Amino acid sequence: MINDVERILISEAQLAERIKELGAQITADYAGKEILAIGVLRGAVVFMADLTRAIKVPVAIDFMAVSSYGAGTDSSGVVRILKDLDENIEGRHLLIVEDIIDSGLTLTYLLENLKSRKPASIKLCTLLNKPERRKAEVQIDYNGFTVPDYFVVGYGLDFAEKYRNLPFIGILKPEVYK
Ligand code: 5GP
Ligand code: MG
Ligand code: MG
């Protein structure tokens, strides 16, 4: 698996350091409140596990799975809910946890859907932000790292369901995609 990696973009240590900072910032912003962290399956799972443990106010967790119709690596903006939340979110403080914001289309749909259920507040925390490919504007409240327009894997992010368990963010050798 490691032999498929061309380059490490963000190391394990850099991830740990930045997540500590995000956790401290979120802890300060939500003082006196309780958070419902909503992880977007499956890419956000690894980040969710580390981020929630870096937050020192009470955090409940729930997950949603969405799929974007459309071929290949491009998101179409037509989103289908594959797994909905188990929790009732009305009146609660939601923290959406995403792996990466690329076109922004998935998140735009998700935010509209969640807003209609009357939460007390919604904020968005993404590990990675790839602004070069944005098609829909998304307000990111907490951003781990801004990355250039590469297809990245690791730390939850996959290529064909592989590489999610790499402990760093990297890019694959071109021959892997063939
Ligand atoms: P968006 O709707 O913002 O275009 O993208 C949504 C999803 O596409 C992300 O949450 C992620 O699952 C996937 N995605 C976008 N860019 C990348 C990437 O560089 N690497 C991987 N592995 N997945 C990506
Ligand atoms: Mg995602
Ligand atoms: Mg994927």
pLDDT tens, position by position, 115-145: 999 999 999 999 999 999 999 999 999 999 9
Integer Cα distance of 143 and 18 in angstroms:
10
- Element at 123 (helix H, strand E): strand 121-129
**pLDDT tens, position by position, 35-78:** 999 999 999 999 999 999 999 999 999 999 998 765 555 666 67
Q: Please give all residues whose beta carbon lies within 6 A of any atom in ligand 1, as ranges.
A: 43, 68, 75, 98-107, 151-153, 157-159
- Of the bound ligands, which one is closest to the alpha carbon of residue 104? 1
Q: Is the ipTM of this complex over 0.85?
A: yes
* Cis amide bond preceding 42, omega within 30: yes
Q: Which positions are annotated as active-site residues?
A: 102
Distances (CA, A) of 147 to 1, 64, 86, 89, 153: 22, 24, 32, 31, 12
Q: Decide yes or no: CATH 3.40.50.300 for domain 11-148.
A: no
Integer Cα distance of 101 and 76 in angstroms:
14
